Structure 1
Amino acid sequence: MAEPSAGGIAAPNNGNVPNADAVAGGAGQELGNRLLPSGVTFRAQVRQWWPYYAMMAPGLIFFIIWHYVPIWEAKMAFEQVRIIPPNIWVGLKNFQVLFSSPIFYQVLANTLIISGMKILFVFPVPIIVALLLNEIRSGKLRGTLQSAIYLPHFLSWVVISGVFIALLSPTDGAVNQIQTALGFQPISYMTNTGTIRWVLVISEIWRSAGWDSLLYLAAIFAIDPQLYEAAEMDGANRWQKIWHVTIPGIVPTIATLFILNMGMFLSADLNQVINMQNDVNASTIDILDTYVYRLGLSTGEYALATAAGLFKAVIGMILVITSHLVSKKLTGKGVW
């Protein structure tokens, strides 16, 4: 029986031409047989592909040691830690102590504010950077700009903190010298509780915007060029092509990265904060991670530190699931 073609005209099938689904299915089955031949053991697969397993090994070992082994020790949050084991099971007592501490709510509020500012002001910047880089027609200029904005990602927060402390110095910092030249009073940005959070946001943008834009650039390059040609034939200008073609094409990438960022919402970057923290601004940028760091290493309250870390992990999981469900409902895209 004739089947309609893409153009709406019936294409005859006289039995000699194989069905497209059958061809695709046969090709997929053949490819699967080639990749996973029957009778081949896992040991033989490892022996054949050992260079790839060797390249994966460092990452796997890292995750096993730092992300999977500690899961078992999370039970410490429900115990009273003793120098000589075994520990004593105390149930939710550590959480009761944690939630009754005013310091905990202060660091939780700081974490929520800083993370919220980063979601609002840092997360969109790599998207904008990727859109702007994509509009540069000169390959040489684009490559130069990409190299310049990627470089800060490879600097440690120790170096970046030193750079910002020097730039924002109230006496000889470049920023305050410009302010003074314009007739404004110098500001001690690193010790001012009203500006230190913005220093965290701006330094995060400077460090991560260029590198994070790589994922969005890759998503943009994967968009079918015929969509741009069709939009141009319809009379769309550059802005209309960005709005109607480019942005919808990278929505799945945006949704996935937003969900993953929500999982780290209560982290707020320990390395950044601990390098920019001082006695004056500590009350403003003291976050959950620095609180856990002090509990565990400074005061030896390992059970309380574990309870605070477990609380952060559970909230992160809830945020990931919630943002995934919302994303699926609004855009039809999620992480699974």
Structure 2
Amino acid sequence: MKKTVSVIILCLAMALSGCAGSAHSANEVHIAIQPSAAFIPLYVAKEKGWIEEALEPMGVSVKWETFESGPPMNESLLSGDSDIGVIGDVPVVTVVAPGNDISLIAIAAQAADSYAILVPTDSGISSAADLKGKRLAVTFGSTAHNMVEKYLATADLTIDDVDLVNIAAGDAAFVLSSGQADAVSIWEPNVTRITADGTVRILASGSECGLAGTNGIVARDKFATANPEVITQILAQYKRAADELPGLDDATMGAVAAALGVETSQMDQIIPKFKYTVEITQEDIFALNDTIRFLNENQILRKDYDITESADGSYYKGY
């Protein structure tokens, strides 16, 4: 199983490395987005049209590209189809590995407890040790995958001790309700949505196993260095949206909730789990290096490096 997981993750970062190019004109930016609550500010900025408004004087148009999770987004970034994207820690350390010409340019959010391992409410599983021999579903190459590794380690277990299966994030609820998995590891807003009717409960949250839940904003080096002000303006609007979340109007909040597939009322439960920061701090560097170390120890990433080699926080001007 470990070998299979390694191949899936490595093929994204290695098979496509060196292939990145500009598949579209310089007067447009392609932004990759995914329906994770870690990126609510980007959804707000999208709904408000703030990025389009900021880039219009530069003659730059915005193309939005939606992905279900980080791994397919990485493929798009590596192929040059997307210029900038928002992803979790495992996709970050995979795609910005030296040689891929993609950099970490900002932090989207820190949110350890937005990740959780879920089990049916009537399940007899009550601890990490109880997962031994069980079928555990997760999206390979995601931050939720990192959580699986860390949570199992609290009981001196590894992925070799469970039947780990790869699923699309959108299938998490179905595999549990249909009995195809004993547990799933997933992120918000899926956690809130899946547990809402009481048939599924949280076995563990990210903070219980040392998961930092660091989500990043990454960009292709070729695009960013050629268009630094475009990147700066996108980050400025992300921060603007993060700052305005507490007083966000109902219409916009409702639109974002719909994009995430949750009720507007559930946003009050989801948003407090996140710290939307933008600036890259030493805490973030430590957390991402820990992800690199952990994945290497488990022979998943197999490419040791320091995240500072692939981080460039100069585009964010502290708006």
Q: Give TM-score scaled by structure 2 length.
A: 0.23
Report 1 or 2 for greater relative contact order, CA contacts < 8 Å, sequence distance ≥ 6: 2
Q: Kindly name which structure, 1 or 2, has the bigger radius of gyration based on alpha carbons.
A: 1
Return the structure number with greater strand share: 2
Return the structure number with greater helix share: 1
